[in-house]
Amino acid sequence: MISLGSASAAPGEVDTGRLEVGETRDGTTVGLPCAVVNGASDGKTLYLQAASDGDELNGVGVIQRLFPQLDPTELSGQILIVGIVNYHAFQVAQHRNPIDDTKMNRAYPGDENGTSSERIAAATFGAARRADLILDLHQGSTSQMIDEVRVRCGRHHRLHSECLQLAKTFGCGYVLDQKGPDGQLARAAPDEGIPTVDPELGGCVGWDEESIQKGVRGVYNVLKGYGFIDGSVETERQTRAKGFDQYGAPTGGLVRFKKSLGEQVSAGDVVFEITDVFGGLKARVTADNTGIFWRSRRLPQVATGEYVCSVGTGIDTF
């Protein structure tokens, strides 16, 4: 028997339930939707979570499509799933937990006596640390972003090559290999010896079917590549960025992009222009460095200094 919250399953069975983490303001129990898939034969344990940021729904879409297809009688090992991590943010379709105005992915490994986000982090980290591999499904919030996988442990971490291999096996085509900020699950779990990556499944308001399908394929690649299910993975060369150049607006106005997502950028190329309401050119912004057009704001209107886009830099392949 394995269990997670109120979900428990014997070998060859699945179950869904709730992982309790305190109460809402009206005293209702907060129960994160969770599931266990207990394979008929032994193997590794995969931990999968989604909606750590409450407006990032593509990961929920992945789990929704994936879970009904999983056959525990064909599975070696176990899968532990938390389908919605940032419960309070999800309720109000926001990025951050409104109870403590915190980004969940700065609160790991969490504190079971701490703030709302720290308690949720502690509860989910308790599940995550039982695993041999961790996938923390994210996306570029509601901005527009390529589909990529993030390795956040840092290039000098003892688990770096294992995290990189997990990113390659997931196989979105692009990898960001850059040490993340403190409090990320993909920082805290490798410190416990567990290879962990953040698949970043595009960026949209609501669901993007193409990114969701890439996510489903990525999880299946991991299940095949690490022996959970039969089949082999044809890993492809991944394009890796080691950092970002972020560009802000030098003036207020309306942004017109000169590059599209995934396009090569050479130093000196025009990345975007800013025009006034009547179409008059106000500014033309060129790239500082060579790279790949990685992420951009969704709305065209900007104030001076406001975020416009990011170019992935330090590009190579592996």
Q: Using the minimum distance from each CB to Zn ion, give the nearer residue, 71 or 101.
A: 101
CB 194 → Zn ion: shortest distance, Å? 19
Cα–Cα distance, 36 to 67 (Å, whole number): 10
Q: Using the minimum distance from each CB to Zn ion, give the nearer residue, 143 or 165.
A: 143
Three-state secondary-structure class, residue 106: helix
Residues 168 and 240: beta-carbon distance below 8 Å: no
Backbone angles phi, psi at 121, to 5 degrees: -60, -45
Total of residues contacting Zn ion (CB under 5 A): 3
CB 59 → Zn ion: shortest distance, Å? 9
The token duo for 25 is 């303001």
CB 316 → Zn ion: shortest distance, Å? 25
In this chain, which stretch among 45-53, 142-150, 238-246, 267-275 interacts with Zn ion, using CB under 5 A? 45-53
CB 318 → Zn ion: shortest distance, Å? 24
Q: Using the minimum distance from each CB to Zn ion, give the nearer residue, 53 or 208.
A: 53
Cα–Cα distance, 155 to 161 (Å, whole number): 8
CB 88 → Zn ion: shortest distance, Å? 15
Three-state secondary-structure class, residue 189: helix
In this chain, which stretch among 48-56, 86-94, 172-180, 233-241 interacts with Zn ion, using CB under 5 A? 48-56
Helix (H) or strand (E) holding 58: helix 58-66
CB 193 → Zn ion: shortest distance, Å? 24
Distances (CA, A) of 204 to 56, 136, 145, 146, 179: 8, 17, 8, 11, 25
Q: Using the minimum distance from each CB to Zn ion, give the nearer residue, 119 or 152.
A: 152
In this chain, which stretch among 75-83, 107-115, 131-139, 149-157 interacts with Zn ion, using CB under 5 A? 131-139
CB 136 → Zn ion: shortest distance, Å? 8
Candidate list 17, 19, 46, 53; residue touching Zn ion; CB under 5 A? 53
Burial (CB < 10 A; 0-12, 13-18, 19+), residue 232, is exposed
In this chain, which stretch among 10-18, 84-92, 135-143, 240-248 interacts with Zn ion, using CB under 5 A? 135-143
In this chain, which stretch among 132-140, 186-194, 243-251, 286-294 interacts with Zn ion, using CB under 5 A? 132-140
54-113 residues near Zn ion, rule: CB under 5 A? 56
The amino acid sitting at 82 is V
Is 138 a binding residue for Zn ion by CB under 5 A? The answer is: yes
Q: Using the minimum distance from each CB to Zn ion, give the nearer residue, 96 or 259.
A: 96
Distances (CA, A) of 13 to 33, 44, 170, 241: 18, 16, 25, 40
CA–CA–CA angle 188, 177, 312 (5° rounding): 135
Residue appearing with tokens 């956040």: 152
Residue appearing with tokens 């500082």: 288
In this chain, which stretch among 23-31, 50-58, 122-130, 279-287 interacts with Zn ion, using CB under 5 A? 50-58
Give the binding site for Zn ion (CB under 5 A): 53, 56, 138
